[in-house]
Amino acid sequence: MIVYRITNTLVGVSGLMLTRIDPRSPTPLYDQIAARIRVAVAAGELGPGDALPSVRQLAGRLRVNPATVVQAYRALEAEGFVEMRQGSGTFVREVEPGRRSQERTAEAERLVREMMAKAARLGLGTKDLVRAFKQEVGASG
């Protein structure tokens, strides 16, 4: 049961991040990796004690410099999301629910800011966006 859960989490995290890393983005790669993991923790996809992929695994999977993965894990450690244990790996720490919801809000805000910047480049205003958003939400809900 426990084994199943860990494997499942690893596949989930790597799958999630594999599709989201964008080397051409101005956001540093380590930042992108850290952000994906932060969201996974915030959303409860990763629970306390879950192991993150090893640096070697993740660097290979994402095809990034291992130093970049280490930098991401260090950043997460400094923020209190994970704990790096010498020789055994990196594990998710207990994160209080308040912090988790904060992180979700922050991520949602980031997405909206990105979208607004893109829209401005195309000459679209806030009204156009809000209208499209409502329609989209209506259609899927």
Give the footprint of another protein on this chain (CB under 8 A): 23-26, 28-29, 55-56, 59-60, 62-69, 117, 120-121, 123
* 94 to 25, 39, 109: CA distances (angstroms): 31, 14, 24
Q: Which is nearer to another protein, 100 or 124 (CB)?
A: 124
Q: Which is nearer to another protein, 117 or 139 (CB)?
A: 117
Q: Which is nearer to another protein, 123 or 138 (CB)?
A: 123
Q: In the bound complex, what is the minimum distance in angstroms from residue 122's beta carbon to another protein?
A: 9
Alpha helices in the chain (DSSP H): 2-18, 29-42, 55-62, 66-78, 97-121, 126-140
